Structures are given as structure tokens and as C-alpha cells.
Chains A and B, each alone.
Chain A
């Protein structure tokens, strides 16, 4: 139980996917302008990360490992994620229209989000068991959402700041991200 807690918190805080592993930078910079879109994107990524782990873990250990096909991981995982996102989108549209309204926009964008492929590959690389993999995916997704939500607040302030012409737009956003990342460095050494 203790190790589960450590995995959850370290995926969320010390090894935050966005701010210390640099995965999912595109949505981090693109969708963090408004608080509600940041929350929506964060929830959608968390959801897909957990579902992708649920699907890819049995495929890796049930099909690929017994047949000595581990080197197919990348090809199979990315295909499964692409198919799965499509499936989830269709299902949400039919069954839970209200949830689809809030998450649907973000689902197609997630297929090529490196954080999702990253979490499934990391679970295999770190040889987590099934439970640990899911906790890692949950922590990774929540950490992603945390970073997006915090950063959307920072960007709101940034919009009213008087910035030199050369730094307007992306450069100032990146430098602000750097400062947020410094604040997350405070968590390092939490578990030793």
C-alpha cells in the first residue's frame, strides 16, 4: 500500500509528466489559456491514460511477451491507443452525451500526445505490476492536469503584463513555464 502511494505522488509531483519529463508539451502550451479548457484537457488525458494502460498492459504481458515479440511494443501500443481513443469518442457520444460535450473536443488531440504513449511504455520499462501501472497512469494524468490548471492561472496574469515585443507570445510563455517548473523542483527529494 505504501509503495502505491509513493508511485501515485511521485508520478504527480516529483516526476511530473509535463514539467520534469517534458511529455505533452504541445497541449500544455496550447490548451492552457483558459481554466475550463485546461481542466477538460486534463480530465480527458487522465481518462485516456488509465484506459490505455488497462488495454496495453494485458496485450504486452499476454500476447507479446509469450511470443517473444516485445520489440513490437511501439507499433502495437500506438495503434491500440489510436483505435481506443476513437472507440471512446464514439461511445461517449452515444452513451454519455453530457460527458462527451465537455471532453469530446479534446479526445482526438490525445492520440498523438506523447504523455499517453509515454505512460504505457514507462509502465513496461519500470516493470510495474498491473495495479502499480494503473496507479502510475492515474498519478501521471492528475499531475498533467495539475500542471495545466496551475499554468492557466499564470498565463492569465501574463496576458496583462507589459512584455517587450520580441518576447511576446511563445517566448514569454516558455519562460513562465520555466518558473512554474522551478516551483515543482521543490518536490524533489520528497521520497528518499
Chain B
């Protein structure tokens, strides 16, 4: 029993640091760059994604023996899209302000590779409880990465943090950081810092392991890295 608990604990913690989906596995780049102009938006996007990930992981792992292998990709897509529609309704009803600021990127959670990758790599092979733990861990890791990105960009680019203005920074904000270019720059710097701190060789390629098409792609072209 104790061993069982340990392994569930590991499912949760691995997503936070060792296999952080954004900073280590380099998945889900689009929302990471797009919504992190403010720390608050990053947090909201992270939590919304966590909700979808948790729901889809639970449903997919519960149905893993029912869904035929051949139609699993459309089946997964429909399950994920349903949860995205659900979170869209919830946010529109209870947090309309966040709903407005996330805009189209809320819909685009559907095609976030983290969710698809976890469904393919984990939920379709493991039990419900383990999949839920995996989703919580990955979700927390993703939320933390987005919150960090958002904080850096908001502090440098707007001179405030979560609505509080920061004395010296507020007078001369570097607008570039909340513009698209700043997103690429900040993410590059954070990934470099993570590499330096973890003393690891930097990843040369993108996280293809999680991509649902890794097989097709590797076989036919070898261009997708």
C-alpha cells in the first residue's frame, strides 16, 4: 500500500520539475507565448488547461479499453473538445473578465499538445487514479511555467505584478516584453536558465515524444523535430 502511494506521489511530482511539460519537454508552446502578457492571464490559462487535462485524462483512461485503437485520435479529440467547451461556459459565466482576455486561446486548448500528448502517452495506458495524478502534476507544472513567464513579462514590460505597480520599474517599462517578440525572448531565456540550473545538455530538438504524429512524421519525412 505504501509503495502504491509512493508511486502516485511520483506521478504528481514528476510533472512539476523533472518532466515539466513546458520548460523541459517543450510542449504547448502556443499558449505559453500567447497569453503570458500578464501573470494573472498565465495563471488563468494554466488552471483552465489543468481542468481540461484532468477531465480528459480521467475519461480517456476510463474508456481506454472501449476505444478501438484505429479511431483513438478522433475519439480523444472529441473528448478533449467537449471539456474545452465546458470550461469555456464556466469561465464565461463566473469569470467573464478572464474569458475576455484569454479569447481565442481558450478554444485552442483543444489542440494543445500537452493534453494530446498525455492522453496518448499516459492516459491510454494507465488506470484512472494514476492518470488523474499525472494530469494534476502536469497541470501544476504547466501553470507554474505560465505564471513565471507572465510574471517576468508583466514586471519588465509593464512595471507591475498582479495589478500592483512596482516603484522603479513602473516609470520606465520595457514595452517590448509584452509584445510578441518579448514572448519568444523571455521563453528562450527561461529555457536557457533551466538548462544551466539543471546542468543538463540543452534540448536540441522540440518535444516530439508527446506529439501524436511522431510515428508518421519520423517514418516519412524526418523533418519534424
| Residue ranges of A at the interface with B (Cβ–Cβ < 8 Å) | 19-27, 29-31, 33-34, 37, 41, 71-75, 78-79, 82-83, 104-106, 108-109, 111-114, 117-118, 121-122, 125, 165-175, 177-179, 181-182, 185
Decide: B216 and A108 in contact? CB cutoff 8 A: yes
Are the C-beta atoms of A174 and B108 separated by less than 8 Å?
A: no
User: Chain B's interface: helix, strand, loop or mixed, by majority?
Assistant: helix
Q: A118-B104, A166-B192 are in contact. Are A181 and B180 (CB under 8 A)?
A: yes
Cβ of B111: which chain A residues have Cβ within 8 Å of it? 78, 112-114, 117
Is B63 interfacial (CB 8 A cutoff)?
no
* Residues of chain B lying within 8 A (CB to CB) of residue A26: 29-30, 113, 206, 211
B30–A168 contact, CB under 8 A? no
Min CB distance B38 to A, Å, is 15
**How far in angstroms is the closest Cβ of chain A from B126?**
22
Contacts of A167 in B (CB 8 A): 188, 192, 202
Instruction: Write the nearest CB–CB distance from B66 to chain A, whole angstroms.
Output: 19
Indicate if B205 sits at the interface (CB-CB under 8 A): yes
Q: Are A74 and B192 in contact (CB under 8 A)?
A: no
19 chain-A/chain-B pairs, Cβ below 8 angstroms = A22-B34, A23-B30, A26-B29, A26-B211, A29-B206, A33-B225, A71-B88, A75-B78, A108-B216, A109-B213, A109-B217, A112-B213, A166-B192, A169-B205, A170-B188, A170-B204, A170-B206, A171-B189, A173-B188
- Are the CB atoms of B181 and A179 closer together than 8 Å? yes
Could you give, for residues 172-207 of chain B, a 1 whenever the CB lies within 8 Å of some chain A CB and a 0 otherwise? 000010011111110111011001100000111110
- The digit string for B212-225, where 1 denotes a CB below 8 A from any CB of A, is 11001100110111
Q: Are A108 and B203 in contact (CB under 8 A)?
A: no
Choose one: A21, A75, A174; the contact of B81 (CB below 8 Å).
Answer: A75
Out of B180, B195, B216, name the residue touching A22 (CB < 8 Å).
Answer: B180
Question: B residues bordering A, Cβ < 8 Å?
Answer: 26, 29-31, 33-34, 73-74, 77-78, 81-82, 84-85, 88-89, 104, 107-108, 110-113, 116, 176, 179-185, 187-189, 191-192, 195-196, 202-206, 208, 211-213, 216-217, 220-221, 223-225
Q: How far is the CB of A128 from chain B (nearest CB, A)?
A: 14
Residues from chain A with Cβ under 8 Å of B196 in the complex = 166
Q: Which of B107, B116, B211 contacts A117 (CB 8 A)?
A: B107
Max count, chain A CB within 10 A of own CB: residue among B34, B89, B188, B189: B188
Q: Given the complex of chains A and B, what is the CA–CA distance between A22 and B30 in angstroms?
A: 5
